[in-house]
Every structure is written in structure tokens, then in C-alpha cells.
Amino acid sequence: MKEYLRKNGIRMAIIVLAVALLVGVGNAARDGQIGFVQNTTNVLTGPLQKVLSSTVNWFDTIYGYLYDYDSLLAENESLRAQLADAQQSARDGIEASEENQRLRELLYLREKHTDYILESAKLVLWSSSNWSSSFTISKGYTSGVELGDPVITEYGVLVGQVTELGTNWATVSTLIDVDMSVGGYVTSTGSTGMVMGEYALMKQKTAKLTYLADGAQIFVGDEVLTSGSGGAFPAGLVIGTISNVQTEAGGQIEYGIVQPTCDLDSLVQVFIIKDFTVVE
């Protein structure tokens, strides 16, 4: 656009000036009045030359503005692209570093639990239901995953259990889901019970340690691990800590509120325990 304005503006100015001069000289030659015509032409073309000169200068100014504007746009776009590349490189570096850390921790876990057969999977999508706490992972039965398989982090912290299965996907219900239950063991007192999901507690991202034996004692801050009872989960997986101790209606049965050690909101990658040695 700027090139068109510049070229055509100058061309128009030159044409107008040439026509005026040619008309003046032609008439003069025909009438034999060169002096008078030259005079008249000078009178007429003087202001015209100023107008044309101003027009050319105006087009040059507009051209300069347009050129500078386009240059700034091009530079801005280039800087934006460079910034996007730099940000993506930084994200890739952070993701690679975090994954390396997870793999190092997993290596330690495998050395500690040589009986575990593990399958890594990426978290794909959280469930949108208000009545459950679950998410989809990127592995299914083609990777050897089965219903009921425990799901953990690289630190050996319990996340949940496989509850739905597809060809290359699976649904994991977390340990705070209303349908989840796992045998729990309180490390400080040796008390055992069941860690279960409850709707009201799920909204607070906690679970409930209940079905404790008569006379069992639990305290705030106690660590809760999987007991291994029933064989669905290996013993010793970290579940969480007791954040509150309460009694059921009537004031006789004590239960604990369990704060999961796993930060569900920050999950990116999980590990499915496809097989392990059951210790009764």
C-alpha cells in the first residue's frame, strides 16, 4: 500500500505538471505569443509546483510512517516468536527435570520393592463429576493393566486404584473417592482399620479412618500406611496422616480424618503396580 501511494502520487504530480507545461508551450507556439504564455504559465505553474511539491513531500512522509510502522510490526512479531520459543524451551527443561526426578525416585522404590512390577502412565483427564474423585490415565489392558491394580506416585505414596479399563486407557479412583476403601495401619500404635471415602470429606480432599478395633488409640499426626489386608494393596504404601480425631454419633466410636500425603492437584505421572508379592 505504501509503495503504491508513493509511486502513483509522484507519477500523478509529474503528469499534471507536464500537461500544464505542454498546453502552455503548444498554445504559445501556435499563437506566436511565447513571452505572454511563458509569463502566464509561470504564474499558473508556480503555485501548482508548490502544491505538487507539498503533495510529494506528504506522500514521502506517509511512506516513511508506513515503512516505520511495518518495520515495527515485523520486529514485534519476531520478538514475540523468540519469546514463545524461549518460554517453550524453559517449560520443556522444567518438565524434563521433573520427570528425571520422578524416575530417580522410582528407581529407589524399585530397589526397595523388587517384587513390584510397575507401569508408568500419564494423567490425561480429571473426571468432571461432583460425586467422584477420579481421573483417566494413558495406559490400559494392552499394557498389562488390570482392574483393581493399585496406583502410586514415584515415592510409594498411594494415589488410588484402577476401577475402569479400556484398550489404552484406564480410570483411577483416588483414595478420597466415595467408593474407595483400603486397609489402613497406624504406625505409632499398631491400630488397624479401613480408610474410606465419604462425600462430605471428599470435598475437603480428605478420607476417614474407621472400623477401628475396640480400645484402639489414634492421635493427630499419626502416619497411616496400607495394612496389606485382603491382598488388594501391598503393605506399607503411604496413605497420609491423621489430621483430626472425632467420634461417631453417640460419642462411643472414635475415627480419624486422614489427610492424604499425595497432592492430587499436582499429579502429572503415576505408576500402576501390576503385580506384587502378597504378604499375609
Using DSSP bridges, classify how beta strands 207-210 and 238-247 pair: parallel, antiparallel or unpaired: unpaired
What pLDDT is attached to residue 15?
53
State whether 34 and 140 are in the same domain: no
pLDDT at 232: 93
Pair 56, 192 in one domain? no
Extract the residue ranges of the chain whose pLDDT is less than 70: 1-60, 63-64, 66-67, 83, 85-108, 248-253, 279-280
Helices (H) and strands (E) in the chain, counts: 3, 12
Same domain, 163 and 262: yes
Strands (E), 77-234: 117-126, 134-137, 150-152, 158-165, 170-174, 181-186, 192-196, 207-210, 223-226
Nearest to 154 by CA among 217, 203, 101, 215: 101
**Domain of 218?**
116-280
Determine the pLDDT at residue 75. 75
Domains: count for the chain: 2
Enclosing H/E stretch for 100: helix 34-112
**What's the pLDDT at 73?**
77
How many angstroms separate the CA atoms of 45 and 53, rounded? 12
Q: Specify whether 86 is located in the same domain as 16.
A: yes
**pLDDT score for 235:** 94
- According to DSSP, the residues that pair with 24 across neighbouring strands are none
Cell of 215: 480400645
pLDDT in tens, 159-196: 999 999 999 999 999 999 999 999 999 999 899 999 99
Q: What is the pLDDT of residue 102?
A: 60
- In angstroms, the CA 202 to CA 192 distance is 21
Same domain, 233 and 273: yes
User: Would you mind telling me the total number of residues written for the chain in this entry?
Assistant: 280
Q: Are residues 152 and 200 in the same domain?
A: yes
Report the CATH number that the domain containing residue 253 is assigned in CATH. Answer: 2.40.10.350
